[in-house]
Amino acid sequence: MNNLVISIKRFFKNKNTVTIIGVIAILLILYFGYNTTIKNATNPVKIPVATTTIQPRTEIKPDMVTTIDVPAIAVKGSAVRTISAVLGKWTNVNSVIPEGSMFFSQMLVTKEELPDAAFTEVKKGEVVYNFHVNMESTYGNSIFPSNKIDIYMKAENESGQIMVGKLIENVEVLAVKDSQGRHVFENTSETRTPSFLIFGVVEEIHILLRKASYMRSYGVELFPVPHGGVVPAQGATQVSTQYLKDFINAHTVVITSDDDIDNVPDIDQDQQQIETPIEGEE
């Protein structure tokens, strides 16, 4: 027995033996550690994916989601890992989720959190204005968000003379919406007809546009033109921006109370706004 103990002691006192054992131990640790890492990374996990292309501002319903097995290493960052975290949520503004794609947390919001990008981009001191348009006035739906436009005005004065000119210029379009208030260009699977250009203007210009929009008895037409574009007069008299402003202000009044509204003749219900044209001045 003593001889066996002595032999073992001599074996471990041998530096070469200790080195070999150490190397073997390290290799075993690396081997099993590597295998464990690979196994954890390649083990399949279930994640929710879209069964169809989901457009922005869309509520996610059960038939839009399924689960698939993917290697765990493929699920990174803000990828959503459970169906319950997806159902009932809405796709965020400008977030299109392609068919077969994973869901990411930044793409999903609750209905209450769903913003309107047009309003979040309005500059401080400006007022949002909904400018009526159609397919023709937008040049075949060719005015896009972030485009710069000028607003031209056409009208007929008291003597029957047609005049046209630039009322405001260099306005940035924040959104293009259809008659249902949906963004025209956010959905890639359907064609939507433009009904409104959304932009921000200072209060003075906002009131001026409101006034002009009520001046029906003067044949007022407001229409967008790409910034820097030229509108041919075509028989009409070309007038300056200041002339148009003076013309609008000269033929409108400021309604400050219900009594003032009662004193303005022939005002329809939809004309009882802050700014109302004076009828019968032609």
pLDDT along the chain (282 residues), means of 10: 62 68 81 70 83 91 93 83 92 89 92 74 90 95 95 92 94 93 82 94 94 92 92 82 94 61 47 40 40
pLDDT in the model for residue 3: 63
Alpha helices in 144-273, H assignment, sequence order: 203-213, 241-250, 258-262
Token pair of 95 as six digits:
């977030």
Pairing mode, strands 162-177 and 237-238: parallel
The fold of the 44-109 domain, in CATH, is: Type Iii Antifreeze Protein Isoform Hplc 12 (3.90.1210)
pLDDT in the model for residue 38: 67
Domain definitions of the chain by residue range: 44-109, 117-277
Give me the amino acid identity at 89: K
CA distance 77 to 57: 23
Please choose, from the candidates 92, 82, 83, the residue with its C-alpha nearest in 3D space to the C-alpha of residue 54: 92
239-256 pLDDT, tens digit per residue, is 999 999 999 999 887 655
Give me the amino acid identity at 133: V
Please choose, from the candidates 180, 142, 164, 158, the residue with its C-alpha nearest in 3D space to the C-alpha of residue 222: 164
Please report, for the chain, how many H helices and E strands are present, in that order: 6, 12
pLDDT in the model for residue 43: 79
